[in-house]
């Protein structure tokens, strides 16, 4: 694995619009060399990439795989039972395959699922006959290097592959900088140049990257001869931009406002549902809206469950203490919001994942009846409400509701 990580450092991943077929008569690696581990069996877990290794696939089944994957797109529901997913992939998920011969005359098959929408664990298990694997990103400290190393090994397996991803060599193996004479030289800045470049990034790099502002700023400045960071490696500049955004202050205390839906008293939720709240001293920026105001004393009385009031008191005193179960409640709320904001494809995947999960809990086995000729479609859902508590300042808290 170490050899693959080193070899893949100067590569990048190219994504193709259709499956690319390749054949390797001899291979440097085998499927078991891939850095795969069992997927975490955590409720609410979702994936965009996951894998399933199938052993002992017959030569006849592999012939059928070749026949089916010779068409574009392949009819996945017609794959042999040994490798066919136990539910329809939908429009957002692609099944890539690699088949490698074994010494006993059978084949080992790698099923490589890639989706543009998150797929819940329950549905991933149905796709993988209840044996879901994921890439072990813990083998190195750079996720991009691990994924590239994975593809480096995959592309060097003996056998055949149908992939929508491939590994490409970067145009330049080193970050280069041109001097005024036009001669190229390796990036070897002086101490003063480093200080000036970092100071420039700290002063001028955008804080937000929601619309790739930081990314574009990096690309433009490393190519601008007048910039103090001209010719700097992009990953160095990007890291400095990230540090500027986060403050890179891991030794500082963690600040958070201890309000989750889990903390709010049910009576209070029923009382304020559909209303916008502001402190009594705050002017409204929306005069056409009905605004319900509260004072600082009634907030504890009306908002929080009795068991969580003491943690809010600690927060007001400057002590940032998470109550027992806070992290679990935070993850549950994140999953709730994620489901409410999911695309039609993701909503369908979530619903199907719950069906498989409930089946497994009730009967202790996977649902084995495959669905055929199924495409992703929008699902009619009841309006859902998000409650958002936003801490604006030390004196203003807003509870908003939104219908989806």
C-alpha count within 13 angstroms, C-beta hemisphere, residue 324: 1
Which residue has better confidence, 247 or 249? 247
Give the residue-averaged pLDDT of 186-195.
79
Angle at Cα 65 formed by Cα 159 and Cα 118, nearest 5°?
95
pLDDT 10s digits, 316-330: 776 667 777 777 777
Instruction: Tell whether 30 and 161 lie within a shared domain.
Output: yes
Query: For position 180, what pLDDT does the model report?
Result: 44
Query: For position 85, what pLDDT does the model report?
Result: 92
Instruction: Tell whether 154 and 37 lie within a shared domain.
Output: yes
Query: For position 134, what pLDDT does the model report?
Result: 94
Number of domains observed in the structure of the chain? 3
Examine residue 137 and state whether it is found in any structural domain, yes or no: yes
Which residue has better confidence, 270 or 99? 99
CA dist list (Å): 105 to 53, 57, 64, 99, 226: 17, 9, 16, 12, 63
Query: For position 364, what pLDDT does the model report?
Result: 61
Instruction: Tell whether 160 and 126 lie within a shared domain.
Output: yes
Instruction: Tell whether 28 and 154 lie within a shared domain.
Output: yes
pLDDT of residue 1 exceeding 70, the answer is yes
Instruction: Tell whether 23 and 117 lie within a shared domain.
Output: yes
The closest of 163, 171, 129 to 12, measured between CA atoms, is 171
Q: What is the DSSP letter of 206?
A: -
| Dihedrals phi, psi of 258, to nearest 5 degrees | -80, 55
pLDDT of residue 182 exceeding 80, the answer is no
Which range marks the domain in which residue 119 is found? 2-169
Bridging pattern class, strands 36-38 and 93-101: unpaired
Element of type H or E holding 53: strand 46-57
Instruction: Tell whether 247 and 265 lie within a shared domain.
Output: no
Examine residue 175 and state whether it is found in any structural domain, yes or no: no
Examine residue 91 and state whether it is found in any structural domain, yes or no: yes
Are the CB atoms for 315 and 257 separated by under 8 Å? yes
Query: For position 36, what pLDDT does the model report?
Result: 94
Q: Which residue has the tokens 């989706």?
A: 115
Query: For position 345, what pLDDT does the model report?
Result: 73
Examine residue 188 and state whether it is found in any structural domain, yes or no: no
> 97-127 in b/e burial notation, b at 16+ Cβ within 10 A?
bbbbbeeeeebbbbbbbbbebbbbbbbbbbb
Mean pLDDT of the chain: 75
Share of the chain above pLDDT 90, in %: 25
Which residue has better confidence, 255 or 137? 137
Query: For position 357, what pLDDT does the model report?
Result: 66
What is the number of other CB atoms lying within 10 angstroms of the CB of residue 194?
14
pLDDT of residue 241 exceeding 70, the answer is yes
Examine residue 103 and state whether it is found in any structural domain, yes or no: yes
Query: For position 181, what pLDDT does the model report?
Result: 42
Using a 10 angstrom Cβ sphere, with 0-12 exposed, 13-18 middle and 19 or more buried, the burial of residue 308 is buried
Bridging pattern class, strands 107-120 and 184-186: unpaired
Instruction: Tell whether 160 and 209 lie within a shared domain.
Output: no
Instruction: Tell whether 99 and 216 lie within a shared domain.
Output: no
Which residue has better confidence, 353 or 64? 64
Q: How many whole angstroms separate alpha carbon 91 and alpha carbon 93?
A: 6
Q: Counting runs of H as helices and runs of E as strands, what totals does the chain give? A: 12, 13
What is the number of other CB atoms lying within 10 angstroms of the CB of residue 8?
22
Instruction: Tell whether 228 and 329 lie within a shared domain.
Output: no
pLDDT of residue 250 exceeding 50, the answer is no
Query: For position 342, what pLDDT does the model report?
Result: 66
- Maximal CA-CA distance, the chain: 79
Instruction: Tell whether 162 and 275 lie within a shared domain.
Output: no
Q: How many whole angstroms separate alpha carbon 394 and alpha carbon 133?
A: 46
pLDDT 10s digits, 377-400: 333 333 333 444 444 334 444 444
Name the domain boundary from 169, 184, 211: 169
Examine residue 189 and state whether it is found in any structural domain, yes or no: no
Instruction: Tell whether 205 and 115 lie within a shared domain.
Output: no
pLDDT of residue 230 exceeding 50, the answer is yes
Give the residue-averaged pLDDT of 234-252.
72
Q: Label residue 276 by pLDDT band (50, 70, 90).
A: low
CA dist list (Å): 402 to 87, 184, 325, 337: 34, 56, 26, 11
Give the residue-averaged pLDDT of 285-293.
53
Query: For position 325, what pLDDT does the model report?
Result: 78
Query: For position 111, what pLDDT does the model report?
Result: 96
pLDDT of residue 190 exceeding 70, the answer is yes
Q: Is the peptide bond prior to 73 cis by the omega test (within 30 degrees of 0)?
A: yes
């Amino acid at each position: 694995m170490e050899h693959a990580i080193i070899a893949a450092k100067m590569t990048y991943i190219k994504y193709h619009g259709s499956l690319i077929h390749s054949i390797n008569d001899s291979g440097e690696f085998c499927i078991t060399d891939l850095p795969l581990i069992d997927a975490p069996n955590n409720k609410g877990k979702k994936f965009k990439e996951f894998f399933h290794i199938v052993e002992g696939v017959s030569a006849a089944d592999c012939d059928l795989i070749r026949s089916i994957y010779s068409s574009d797109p392949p009819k996945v529901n017609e794959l042999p039972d040994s490798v066919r997913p136990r539910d329809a992939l939908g429009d957002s998920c692609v099944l890539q395959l690699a088949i490698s011969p074994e010494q006993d005359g059978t084949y080992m098959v790698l099923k490589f699922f890639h989706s543009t929408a998150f797929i819940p664990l329950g549905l991933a298990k149905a796709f993988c006959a209840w044996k879901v694997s994921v890439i072990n990103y813990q083998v190195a400290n750079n996720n991009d290097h691990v994924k590239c190393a994975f593809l480096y090994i995959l592309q060097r397996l003996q056998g055949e592959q149908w992939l929508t991803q491939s590994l490409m060599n970067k145009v330049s193996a080193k970050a280069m900088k041109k001097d005024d004479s036009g001669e190229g030289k390796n990036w070897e800045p002086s101490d003063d140049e480093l200080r000036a470049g970092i100071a420039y990034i700290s002063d001028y790099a955008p804080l937000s990257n929601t619309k790739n502002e930081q990314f574009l700023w990096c690309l433009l400045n490393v190519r601008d001869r007048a910039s103090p960071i001209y010719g700097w490696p992009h990953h160095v500049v990007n890291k400095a931009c990230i540090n500027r955004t986060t403050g890179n202050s891991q030794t500082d205390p963690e600040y958070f406002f201890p309000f989750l839906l889990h903390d709010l008293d049910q009576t209070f939720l029923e009382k304020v549902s559909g209303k916008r709240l502001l402190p009594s001293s705050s002017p409204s920026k929306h005069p056409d809206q009905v605004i319900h105001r509260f004072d600082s004393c009634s907030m504890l009385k009306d908002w929080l469950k009795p068991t969580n009031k003491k943690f809010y008191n600690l927060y007001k005193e400057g002590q940032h203490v998470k109550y027992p179960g806070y992290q679990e409640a935070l993850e549950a709320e994140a999953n709730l919001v994620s489901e409410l904001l999911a695309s039609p494809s993701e909503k369908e995947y979530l619903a199907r994942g719950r069906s498989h999960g409930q089946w497994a809990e009730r009967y202790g086995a996977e649902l084995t009846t495959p669905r055929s000729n199924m495409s992703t479609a929008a699902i009619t859902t009841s309006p859902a409400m998000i409650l958002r508590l936003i801490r604006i300042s030390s004196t203003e808290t807003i509870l908003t509701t939104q219908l989806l």
